[in-house]
A and B are shown apart, each in its own frame.
Chain A
Amino acid sequence: MPDGASALSLVLGGDPALYAIVGLSLLVSLSATALAALVALPLGAMLALVDFPGRAFVVVVINAFMGLPPVVVGLAVFLLLSRSGPLGFLGLLFSPKAMIIAQALLVLPIIAALTRQTIEDLWAEYRDELTAMRVGPAARVATLLWDARFSLLTTLLAGFGRAAAEVGTVMIVGGNIDGFTRTMTTAIALETSKGDLPLAMGLGLVLITVIVGVNTAAWGVRRIGELKSG
C-alpha cells in the first residue's frame, strides 16, 4: 500500500520501472521537439521573410494551432495510424514512434509561430545590412536563424514544455502500455484514477523536476553562449 514515503523511496531508491517511465517521457518529448524543430524553424523563418499570396492566412492558422487540443491531435494521428487508416500498414500505433509523431505535430505550430515572430523582428533590424551585403535568400534564413539562436532556444523549450506536459496525445496513440508506452503524464493519470494519489503526486514531482532540469540546462547553455559570442 503505497503512500508519500513509498513514492519518495521509489524516486530515491532508483526504481527501474519508474526510471524507465522517466526515460521514455524524455525520449519521446525531446525527439518530438527535435523533429518538429526540423520543419518548424525553416518554416517559421520562411513565413517571416517570404511574402506570398495567402501568407497572412497561413500565419493566422499557425498561430491558432498553437492552442491545438492534444486529444484532437491524438485522435487525428490515431485515425491515420490505426489498422484501417491510410498509414495503418506502418504498424506504428501504440508505439513510442507514434507518440513522437503526435507530439511533434502538437508542438510544430508553437515553434513555427514563435520562430516567425522572432525572425521577423530580427529581420527588421538586419534588413539594411544584409541587403547591402547582397546576402541571398537561403543565406538570409541561415543567418537569421543562427543569430536568433538564443531566442530560438527559448522557443524550443516552449515546445518541449508543451510536449512533456501533455497527456492527451500520448494516451490516445500510445495507449499507456506498462513498460512500453507509459509516460509520466499517462502514469499520473492512471494512478490518480486508481486512487493511488501519493504515487501520482510522486510522479508529478519527478515530472516537474525533470522539466525544471531541462530548462536549467538550456538556460546555462544560453548564458554561456551569450557570454562567449554576444
Chain B
Amino acid sequence: MRALQTDLPIVLDDVSLHANETTIIRHVALVLSPGTPTIVVGPNGSGKSTLIRLAMGLIAPTTGHITWGGRAESDGRRRAMVFQRPVMLRRLAAANVAYALKVAGIDRAVRTERARDLLDRVGLGDLAARPARRLSGGEQQRLALARALARDPEVLFLDEPTASLDPAATKAVEDIVRAVAQSGVKVVMATHDLGQARRMAGDIVFLVRGRVAERTDAERFFTAPATPEAAAFVRGDLVI
C-alpha cells in the first residue's frame, strides 16, 4: 500500500495565504517532484517558512489547492519536518527518537534497536542516555533529524535548520541532510544562507514577498539569475 500511496509530487496550485490583513503567500504555483534537494531561498519575511508549512500540510491555504501524489487529502505519514528551533521532549535523547518511532506506528519490540540505529546515523550514538534538553544546539538539531527520519519519510522538510548553529554544527547537519537526500528522500529546505543554498541544491525556489520570483536549477540561479531581485540577492544586496 505504502509504495502506491506516494505523496510525491506535491503540487501547489495558485496557492495564497492571508493572515488577517496581511498576505503571506501570493498565487504560488509550485511542483515538488522526487529528485535533488529543493532549496527555498529569499529574504526574511518572504514566506519561506509558510511555504514549507503549506507543503508539509501543517496549515491550509486561504485560496488555491495543494495535492500530495494527486490526492487532496493525505495522512502525512511519510512527510517529516525539522524546525529552526526543534522542541526537545523532556526525555532522554533515545526516548525522543523512540517516541517518534511509536507515533510512526513502529512495533515496540524493534523500537530500541531502531532508535539506536537512527542515533548512530546522526552521530549521537554516544549521547543516547543524555537528557535531550541538555544537548547542545547542534546536537539537538541532529536529534530532531533522527526523530524526523524515524518516520521513514519520502519527503523531508527543513525550515532554516542551521540558522542558529555555528559552522561546525551546520556542517554536521548538512552532511546528514546530504546523505538523506542521496538515499532517495526528497529534501525541501528553507534557508536565507546563500552559501548553504549553493552547497545543498538541487534546484532553487526564490521567494520575494510571498511570490515565487524564480524557480530554476541552482547552477543557473547563481550564474545567470533571470530576475533583477534574484540578481541582487545573489550579489548579496539587500532585497526587501
Rounded to whole angstroms, the CA-CA distance of A228 and B91 in the bound complex is: 9
Q: Are B58 and A131 in contact (CB under 8 A)?
A: yes
Given contact pairs A131-B58, A132-B58, A139-B103, A126 touches B87 in the complex (Cβ within 8 A)? yes
Within 8 A of B (CB), among A216-230: 228-230
Residue from A129, A135, A139, A228 in contact with B87 in the complex, judged by beta carbons closer than 8 Å = A129
In the complex, whether B215 has a CB less than 8 A from a CB of chain A is no
Residues of A within 8 A of B137 (CB): none
Number of interface residues of A (CB under 8 A): 17
Q: Which residue of B lies closest to A128 (CB)?
A: B83
In the complex, whether A133 has a CB less than 8 A from a CB of chain B is yes
Q: Are A133 and B75 in contact (CB under 8 A)?
A: no
Residues of B within 8 A of A230 (CB): 88, 90-92, 131-134
Q: Are B77 and A229 in contact (CB under 8 A)?
A: no
How far does the Cβ of B146 sit from chain A's closest Cβ, in whole Å? 13
In the complex, whether B10 has a CB less than 8 A from a CB of chain A is no
Number of CB contacts from chain A to chain B under 8 A: 46
Residues of B within 8 A of A133 (CB): 100, 103-104, 147, 151
Chain A 107-132 per-residue mask, 1 if CB under 8 angstroms from chain B, else 0: 00000000000000000011011011
Q: Which residue of A lies closest to B93 (CB)?
A: A230
Q: Are A134 and B90 in contact (CB under 8 A)?
A: no
- Say whether chain A's binding surface is mostly helix, strand, loop, or mixed: helix
- Most chain B CB within 10 A, of A134, A135, A228, is at A134
Rounded to whole angstroms, the CA-CA distance of A126 and B96 in the bound complex is: 13
In the complex, whether A147 has a CB less than 8 A from a CB of chain B is yes
How far does the Cβ of B64 sit from chain A's closest Cβ, in whole Å? 21
Residue from A125, A126, A229 in contact with B92 in the complex, judged by beta carbons closer than 8 Å = A229
Q: Are A132 and B81 in contact (CB under 8 A)?
A: yes
How far does the Cβ of A224 sit from chain B's closest Cβ, in whole Å? 12
Rounded to whole angstroms, the CA-CA distance of A126 and B99 in the bound complex is: 14
Residues of A within 8 A of B103 (CB): 133-135, 139
Residues of A within 8 A of B83 (CB): 128-129, 132
In the complex, whether B34 has a CB less than 8 A from a CB of chain A is no
Rounded to whole angstroms, the CA-CA distance of A85 and B192 in the bound complex is: 70
- Most chain B CB within 10 A, of A129, A147, A228, A230, is at A230
Q: Are A134 and B131 in contact (CB under 8 A)?
A: no
In the complex, whether A143 has a CB less than 8 A from a CB of chain B is yes
Residues of B within 8 A of A229 (CB): 90-92, 95, 131
Rounded to whole angstroms, the CA-CA distance of A52 and B95 in the bound complex is: 33
How far does the Cβ of B59 sit from chain A's closest Cβ, in whole Å? 9
Residue from B76, B87, B92 in contact with A134 in the complex, judged by beta carbons closer than 8 Å = B76
The 7 closest A-B pairs by CB, nearest first: A230-B131, A230-B133, A132-B81, A129-B87, A147-B90, A133-B103, A229-B131
A sample of 15 cross-chain residue pairs with beta-carbon separation below 8 angstroms, ordered by A number, consists of: A128-B87, A129-B83, A131-B58, A132-B80, A132-B83, A133-B103, A133-B151, A134-B75, A134-B77, A139-B103, A147-B90, A147-B91, A229-B91, A229-B95, A229-B131
